[in-house]
């Protein structure tokens, strides 16, 4: 259900191209802080409601990290196909929504889109400012640098510090081995954390004693899907068994609502860091809170990507970008954890109150 309230949404846009069957959605939720900023996801199941939920999350995310952006999101129904067809879909969508860019909407990468798709997008709109996450040769800071996953790792470390858990002794499972998941895995591994389980569409791998850091680096270098042969000690388990593993920290970094009624009661982790956007509904987060599970909400944990987008928009260097991501995520995560513990309130409620004040 699309919630209409004092925040938004200001624009709900559906587009369709009868020539190629491209169907897409753009939701511009709130423009009080600046142009709506949010990525374009391409999945076969994306809906206007999902895009709205993601746009609302971006409204809070951009406010939370105090950026001059409003909240927005876009989605293209992508049934799959050749790169040539994908390019046509992205270009068709770009043409349809070009009148809104960049005054009301600035695009960026999301599920199944990256620097290549952002280049296709800006070539059609004719303006480099209409998207971030572009290739470096187009003055971009592509998300392939790992800014979102880096931010998730920093947020995880801060939560551990505030809750009295030594990250070097923490057992961590990560669901999703795309851009966010594998960079979170990489940076957490460098911090000395023990990554014991990884999952994506191709495999679910459990390694009781933790993956070797060099193995993780090799896997990331080879890219996705999750390469089982790189994990000689790893045990391939059933996807549904992933959720019941004995871990300290769970990082859902895959798709919307990946934690749901079917698997929520299996989860044994005491900390959940939301690496992906909207990995569960808010009522499930509340259930976890009542059980004593600390859930750091997505718009705090995974804001590294939009901070990187802001840095690209401002023309900053890669080094400066990583510094700003670390500073902002450390500051906001610490604030949310401290307030949540002090007030004994759900971390999402605490973060929403902070973000709403910043929106106003």
> Token pair of 321, please?
């970008």
73 among known catalytic residues: yes
Q: CA 83 to CA 89: how far, in whole Å? A: 10
Burial class (CB in 10 A: 0-12, 13-18, 19+), 257: middle
Q: CA 161 to CA 342: how far, in whole Å? A: 15
Cβ atoms 185, 196 nearer than 8 A: no
Cβ atoms 292, 344 nearer than 8 A: no
**β-pairing verdict for 235-236 and 204-206:** antiparallel
Cβ atoms 72, 3 nearer than 8 A: no
Candidate list 37, 73, 157, 171, residue with the active-site label? 73
Q: What does residue 350 show for φ and ψ, rounded to 5 degrees?
A: -60, -50
Cβ atoms 297, 348 nearer than 8 A: yes
**β-pairing verdict for 249-252 and 271-273:** parallel
Cβ atoms 199, 174 nearer than 8 A: yes
Active site residues: 73
């Amino acid at each position: 259900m699309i919630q209409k309230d004092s925040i938004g949404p200001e624009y709900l846009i559906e587009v369709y191209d009868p020539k190629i069957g491209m169907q897409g959605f753009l939701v511009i939720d709130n423009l009080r802080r600046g142009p709506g900023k949010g990525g374009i996801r391409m999945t076969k199941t994306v809906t206007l409601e999902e895009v709205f939920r993601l746009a609302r999350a971006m409204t809070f995310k951009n406010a939370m990290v105090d950026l001059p952006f409003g909240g927005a999101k876009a989605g293209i129904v992508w049934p799959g196909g050749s790169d040539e067809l994908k390019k046509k879909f992205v270009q068709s969508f770009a043409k349809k929504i070009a009148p809104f860019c960049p005054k009301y909407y600035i695009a960026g990468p999301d599920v199944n889109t990256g620097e290549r798709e952002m280049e296709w997008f800006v070539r059609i709109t004719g303006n480099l400012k209409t998207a971030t996450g572009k290739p470096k040769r187009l003055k971009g800071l592509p998300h392939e640098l790992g800014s979102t996953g880096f931010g998730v790792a920093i947020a995880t470390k801060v939560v551990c510090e505030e809750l009295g858990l030594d990250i070097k002794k923490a057992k961590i499972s990560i669901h999703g081995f795309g851009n966010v998941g594998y960079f979170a895995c990489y940076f957490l591994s460098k911090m000395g954390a023990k990554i014991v389980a990884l999952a994506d569409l191709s495999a679910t791998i459990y390694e009781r004693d933790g993956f070797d850091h060099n193995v993780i680096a090799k896997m990331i270098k080879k890219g996705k899907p999750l390469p089982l042969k790189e994990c000689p000690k790893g045990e391939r388990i059933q996807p549904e068994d992933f959720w019941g593993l004995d871990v300290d920290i769970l990082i859902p970094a895959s798709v919307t609502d990946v934690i749901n009624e079917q698997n929520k009661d299996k989860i044994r982790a005491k900390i959940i860091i939301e690496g992906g956007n909207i990995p569960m509904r808010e009522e499930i987060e509340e259930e976890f809170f009542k059980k004593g599970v600390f859930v750091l909400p997505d718009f705090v944990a995974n804001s590294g990507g939009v901070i990187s987008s802001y840095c690209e928009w401002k023309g900053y260097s890669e080094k400066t970008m990583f510094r700003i991501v670390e500073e902002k995520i450390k500051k906001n995560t610490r604030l949310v954890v401290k307030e949540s513990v002090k007030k004994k309130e759900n971390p999402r409620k605490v973060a929403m109150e902070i973000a709403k004040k910043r929106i106003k």
